[in-house]
Structure 1
Amino acid sequence: MTSPKFHLPPQSDPPLSPRLTLPTMYDLPSEDPEGPGLPDEFHIYQPQLLRETFQSPQWQPDLVFSATDLNLYYDLSHPNWYKRPDWFGIVGVSRLYEGRDLRLSYVIWQEQLSPFVVVELLSPGTEAEDLGETVRSSGNPPTKWQVYERILRVLYYIVFSRYTDQLQIFRLIGGHYEAAQVTEAGLAIPELELTLGLWRGNYQNIDRLWLRWLTIEGNLILTPSEQALAAQQQATEVEQQLAVAQQQAREAEQRAERLAARLRELGVEPDQLV
């Protein structure tokens, strides 16, 4: 008698993760071939200052990502549509792509986390769109304002003009942007324990009004160069204090020697006075 034969049902391959099947940053363009070229110096230095001071005490540095002029892909139905903010910051996402690679772009359907804050620096050619004054044309991608407000739902949208030094901050409330009141101290953002404010000072050897991140109390968050300068100044102060202490010790020793010599002239041994 032969043993019965059992026929197992055919095994299908496990479904692939959307992360493996959808376009990644390696599949999408990271440059705009029709772009106008490199930005002006302000568009280089100002985002750099924002990046160097974007340090939230609520998040470890490896879970804070910020970018300048990086393609931000936002619509899987139109995977080639993107916006390119002058600067944006995100918390709660790995600083490196999949924890290992520098980013070529930021792909929202992979990361599943929108920027927390976006900054646009006004230029004469982009002012209308940056301020939400342009109307989307039929068949064209949505405007910056529409993407940030309705699709990505960026909590804070900041617009700054270097021509007028005007800072405008919009906060997402009830699904729409509302202008936030900005004081001289800036705008405190409790979700980050940071303040975004205007600071007049010297950065990259340029003295002007800059947009930068501060502590929630309004104190400066130092850039690496400022930290190095502060450390150097502190070391110099310590050296000066040490030099003063050494000089005071020498002077005290000289006074003691003069006193001892005077006592000997009077026939008194200083050691006998101890």
Structure 2
Amino acid sequence: MTAIDAFTPLPDHNQLPCEDGTFVKNFQEHPQSLLLTDSIYPVLNRVHPDGQFCIGQDSGIYWRLTDPPQRGAEAPDWFYVGNVPPALDGQARRSYVLWQEIIPPQIVIEFVSGTGAEERDRTPWTGKFWVYETAIRPAYYAIYEVKKASVEVYVLQKNKYHLLSANERGHFPIEELGVELGIWPGVYQGMDLPWLRWWDAAGHLLLNGEERAEQERQRAEQERQRAEQERQRAEQERQRAEQEHQRAEQECQRAEQERQRAEQEQTRNQKLIAKLKELGVDPDSIL
């Protein structure tokens, strides 16, 4: 570690490297990060109505000064910090510097690409697990292994990480956010894999933007079909009422024809009676 003069100002996120030159391990990591961010954003917007939170994706968290600087940082595949501004000094964050902002992440997630030994390394000062548990100290640390379709979640209690037990749905509750973390086998961006995803506390999957749009499209289609069914029902009711009206008119016409027939019959009888009387015949004797 390079000695730091007591009067030397500590570097901020603009003065520290924001990348270490390593490659992303596989093509699944970037979509996985996007999926986690996209689906939890509506939750975080409710938790932080003032918009004060940030999400890092393969971004550095600086926890000590070293030479080179990157040795004093970890770059989780995904992490979330609450109650901090999403940008600093009107600029997008280059990294997250603990001595500049103090507040530790709420949750850090590592995506395993090898054996998982690196993510579980407890060697003091260099092991990733040790650094998260002792120095960076996120409340939750998750280790996601796509090859094993599994995730381990640790919760910080009394300065030590303890493995969190899954609930009856096989998910791991993140109670402070009212969400659960678990494995979802399905297709995302054309890849059929066991993805790491969020659910709400009731076990409902938190949808990403594409899924929310599809759900809204289906809801609109169902509403259109409901409106069409209502229109058809109203049309059938109108036709039924029209048929009833026509039946009533026909009944009225039939009654009128019957009345006219009765009148004609009465008129004919009256003429017959009158004719018989002219002829001197008593109508009652023959009718």
Query: Of 186, 190, 195, which residue of structure 2 is paired with 1:210?
Result: 195
Once residues 103 and 68 of structure 2 are traced to their aligned partners in structure 1, the CA distance between those partners, rounded to angstroms, is: 17
* Counterpart amino acid of residue 122 in structure 1: V
Provide the TM-score with structure 1 as the length reference.
Answer: 0.80
One-letter code aligned to 2:182? G
In structure 2, the residue matched to 1:123 is 113
- Alignment-mate amino acid for residue 218 of structure 2: Q
Residue 232 in structure 1 maps to residue 217 in structure 2:
yes
Greater gyration radius: 2
* Matched residue, 2:9: 21
Aligned with residue 185 of structure 2, among 191, 200, 214: 200
How is 1:163-174 mapped onto 2 (pairs within 5 angstroms)?
Answer: 163-174=147-158
What's 2:251 paired with?
266
1:164 Cα shift?
0.8
Please show how residues 142-221 of structure 1 align to structure 2 within 5 Å: 142-183=126-167, 184-221=169-206
* Alpha carbons 1:73, 1:79 under 8 Å: kept: no
**1:62 is the counterpart of 2:48:** no
2:28 to 27, 38, 42: 42
Match of 1:132 in 2: 121
Q: Residue 83 and residue 254 in structure 1: after superposition, are their counterparts in 2 closer, same or farther (change >3 A)?
A: same
1:177 alignment partner, SS class: strand
Q: In structure 1, what residue type is equivalent to 2:219?
A: Q
Would you tell me which structure has more helix in proportion to its own residues? 2
Hey, what's the Cα distance between the residues in 1 that align with 2:164 and 2:189? 30
User: Where do 5+ consecutive residues of structure 2 fail to align?
Assistant: 1-6, 255-287
2:75 pairs with 1:84: yes
Q: CA deviation at 1:204?
A: 2.2
Q: 1:268 to 1:166 in 2, by over 3 A?
A: same
Q: Give me the whole-angstrom Cα distance separating, in 1, the residues matched to 2:233 and 2:51.
A: 48
SS of alignment partner, residue 113 of structure 1: coil
Percent identical across equivalent pairs? 29
* Unmatched runs of 5 consecutive residues or more in structure 1: 1-17, 270-274
Structure 1 counterpart SS, 2:47: coil
Tell me how far 1:190 sits from its aligned partner: 1.8
AA partner of residue 257 (structure 1): E
Query: How far 1:69 sits from its partner (Å)?
Result: 0.7
Structural RMSD (CA)? 2.3
Give the structure 2 partner of residue 11 of structure 1.
none
Q: How far apart, CA to CA, are the structure 2 residues paired with 1:241 and 1:199?
A: 32
**1:173 Cα deviation from its structure 2 partner:** 1.9
The 2-side partners of 1:67 and 1:169 are apart by 18
Query: Is the CA contact 2:39–2:209 (under 8 Å) kept in the aligned structure 1?
Result: no
Partner residue in 1 for 2:208 = 223
Structure 2 match to 1:32: 20
When normalised by structure 2's length, the TM-score is 0.77
Are the structure 2 counterparts of residues 223 and 162 from structure 1 closer, same or farther at C-alpha, using a change threshold of 3 Å? same
